[in-house]
Each structure stands twice: as C-alpha cells, then as structure tokens.
Amino acid sequence: MPKAFRHAAVVGKFQARGIAPVLEEIANFLVARGLDVFFERDTAQAMGGELGGFEAHSAAELGRRCDIAVVVGGDGTMLAFAREMARFHVPLVGINAGRLGFITDIPLDRYKESLAPILAGDYEEEHRSMLEGSVWRQSNGVSERIFEGLSLNDVVVSRGGTAGMVELRVDVDDDFVANLRADGLIVATPTGSTAYALSAGGPILHPAIGGWVVVPIASHTLSNRPIVLPDGGEVKIGIVAGKDVSASFDMHNLASLLLGDQIRARRSAHQVRFLHPRGWSYYATLRRKLRWYEGVV
C-alpha cells in the first residue's frame, strides 16, 4: 500500500472571491488528519495574510518540504503550480473551484469524502508528460537560446492580434515536415489536447499515449491537418514571415519574435504526478466535461 502523507502544501486560485475561508477550511481538514500544512506564498498574499497561523513558503521551498500538494481552483491554477512541482516529484490533488476542471477533478462540495482516503494512502496515481520549450535566435552567426520554459498543456506560436497570417517552417528533428501559412500552430501534450488544440480541431489524446499533437490554427490550406507525433523527437517551428509573432508556453508569453527565430519543443525529463480518488476514470471525465451523451446504463 502507498504510504500516507505528512507535509501538505495548499495552493489557491488567487483571483477567486471568498476563497480564503475555503482554503483555511481545507487546511484545517488536513491538520485534523495529522498533516503539517503550509500555504504557497502567492496564495497567502492574496488572502491578505489571514492564514490562521499557517506558514507560507515559495513554491520551491514547498517542493523541498512537502510530500503532497492540494490545489484549489481551476485548471489554470493547477497548470501554474504543476510546472513548479514537477522537478520535485510532489504529487498533486486538484479540488475544482473553477469552471471546467479537466485536471482539478474533485468537486469542491465533495472534497472531504474524496480527500480523506487519498491522505490515508488509498488513491489512483497517474503521470502526465510535459513539454520543454525554448526560443532560439541567430546572433552573429551563432544560435542562442533566449527563452525556455515548461508546459503541461502546450506550446503555441501565433500571429499578433492585428497582423495577418504567419508563415512557419516545421521540422521534426532533422526532417523537414512542411511550410504552412496560418494564424499559428499548437504543439500540445495529451493533457493539452483537451485545451486550445481541441478548439482548433485537434484530436483528443489519452494521457498514457507517448505523443504530441501538432495542430495548425486556421490554416490557409485545408490539407494542413493535425498530426500526432511520437514524443521522442524535437519539434522545431521557424518563423519565415509575419508580424508581431508570439510564442506561449502555457501561460508564459514571449512576444515580438523576429523572422528567423525558432521555437523548439521536446519532452521534458520531468512529469507531473496527479492523485485521484479510487475509481477515477479519464473517460468519465471526458463524458462529464465535454457533455458526451451517456445513453442508458
């Protein structure tokens, strides 16, 4: 049996009204089950310092001190914190206080009955792959990395809000794939396949699949279709033409890229660990969140 936990981090959705009492209630619930509890520093600041005696630490310090993290909010809150915790291998539990909740899957009004068995070591664990993204620029004949970041969802290259199409060259490792003219391009993980990539017409990838989905955004040529690639290679996106081109790594943006810049995406050495209540099902999540017809059971 998996061991129970001893030190918990609590992270909350900063902008949500009335979140402070909820977070403190969850923190006290954890304490009552014998855990030492610490708040994430930005969460504590958003609560105005009203922590009920709990310590607050940076994400890095929580990663070193805690063996479980409880994230209260929506998928955006989870995305931001998951990137911080991946290198520490700290498992995450998501309590949904947002709207969609693909990766914050425990309803807020049922957190007690879902969280208690997890804290006792009765849970289902899954690992999610991440993208390691970077931007490279030629300077005096030398290619230099000017930005790098981790993405749990996707790396997106897109045109500016008032600009026309961009032209992008796509390579996988040393193999040329295509030049395309479009509003942009998405490289998504299986987790990110149900985010922007899905709305752009991409397929859903099961989290256990070792692959990426590459999805053009409003391609000028209808034959430029989404493609699923193995995650062992590096996807390279070169900017051939276009104005105000930007790259986004989950919620981290790098704007005003130059012609000739290249965005690279490859599998990260780190994975995100999610803990779910016993009986959790990815397919049930899809049915519930995408409102698929369930039929008669």
Query: Which residues belong to the active site?
Result: 75
Q: 207: closest CA among 190, 193, 192, 231?
A: 190
Burial grade of 280 (CB within 10 A; 0-12, 13-18, 19 or more)? middle
Q: How many CB atoms lie within 10 A of CB 290?
A: 12
Phi-psi region of 165 (alpha: psi -120 to 50; beta: other; left: phi over 0): beta
d(CA 289, CA 138): 44
d(CA 242, CA 217): 14
Determine the angle formed by the axes of helices 19-32 and 111-119, rounding to 10 degrees.
40
User: What type of residue is 7?
Assistant: H
- The first and second tokens of residue 199, run together, are 């709305």
Non-local CB neighbours of 155 within 8 Å, separated by 6+ positions:
131, 133, 186, 187, 247, 248, 249, 263, 265
Q: 22: closest CA among 77, 79, 102?
A: 77
What φ, ψ does residue 167 adopt, rounded to 5°? -110, 125
The beta-strand segments (E) located in the chain are 7-12, 36-40, 55-57, 68-73, 92-96, 106-107, 124-139, 142-151, 154-158, 166-172, 175-182, 184-188, 211-217, 227-230, 235-241, 246-249, 252-254, 262-276
